[in-house]
Structure 1
Amino acid sequence: MKRFLIADDHEAVRSGLRAVLEQRADWEVVAEANDGSKALAAAIANQPHVAIVDFSMPRMTGVEVARRIREYRLPTEVLIFTVHNSNLLAQEAFEAGARAFVLKSDANRLLLAAVESLLAHKPFCTESCSPESNEVSTGDRDRLSPRERLVVKLIAEGYSNKRIGAILNLSVKTAEAHRAAAMRKLDIHSTAGLVRYAVRARLLEA
């Protein structure tokens, strides 16, 4: 049984999300919260597989909830659910530890796909960066060396430069250099941008 936490300060939104999720026989909403502090407490108490967290909540933002979940090393993937279509907010969410960013206006089309990606421990970003809507050409992929593609893949999977260095038997400085080279070649300027690229290029399926 896959367990879910829903955190949003609007009861109607929580009810709608619950109805969508519990259409699946093996999915269960184990907790709800109407502010960020309660959301974190519920995540600690229930350790759900996925937490769907509103970006804008009282007492603690969704991004701060994601950051604290990562700090506590909970086995919970975080989906930031928001009305704000902003690359800066997406970047902030991914850097805090969230692994999916979905607009509320896209929920009917993308929510289940986002949740399924998280259950497979793969990141997901709303509409403009979904694999179906924005493929990366072979030429774009070929700009990167095999090592650079691997570094981008690991970044998208949530690993730090230090951890990437350990996995690939590289110094932190070399891992950072590969990251910088990939960003320069792709003209990408943020972690969120690299995550979106990795999703579009299907690097996470390798």
Structure 2
Amino acid sequence: TIRASDFGSPQLSSSVFISISVLDVNDNPPILTQDNYTFFVQEDKMPGWAVGQMIVSDVDTFPNGAPFSFSILSGNADLAFRVVSDGTLYTAARLSTRARSLYYLQVRVSDSGFPPLHTDSWITVKVIEESQFAPTVLPLEVFIIAYQERWPGGEIGHLIASDQDPYDTLVFALETTPTGQGQFSVEPRSGVLTAGPMVDAGRY
């Protein structure tokens, strides 16, 4: 509040409220979680297949940060890829290892400030062949023995699997029989097998 007074007699004065807003200046470029990215995509996927995502942040506040805009500056041969506003890289054409197996994309992300600031990143996209081999799982036989008290539940084994396709990711899942429904679980990535405390004697 500012008050102005005169030197008259009687002295008169007047007050006014002043609101001061401190605005953010666009002085920070967008920040990517990585300087360089490497993504894998199988050949012959339909256009629109999500290859990977770049995560972006900005210490500037609105309107100098998000939303961000992306552009591919170089390396996008045959316009094979596109990037949307959330940083996801999509295929824009069918890819083939016979035509090209490696792409090096220079991608620029710009903020919404004025003038906009930007950060560049390089993306390596490796086009790989479709899966040709089924995974191999080693047999596992587990015996649960509990003395005096009932089995309390816990880890009972570890599934081991391999795949001749070098870029395939193995995911474990149970196909249980009705008698074993809900009594066993497997961790999808590690293959750790767990039994619950309600397992009755028998073979599953």
Name the TM-score, length of structure 1 as normaliser: 0.23
Q: Which has the higher strand share?
A: 2
Higher relative contact order (CA 8 A, sep 6+): 2
Q: Which has the higher helix share?
A: 1
Q: Which of structures 1 and 2 has the bigger CA Rg? A: 2
Name the TM-score, length of structure 2 as normaliser: 0.23
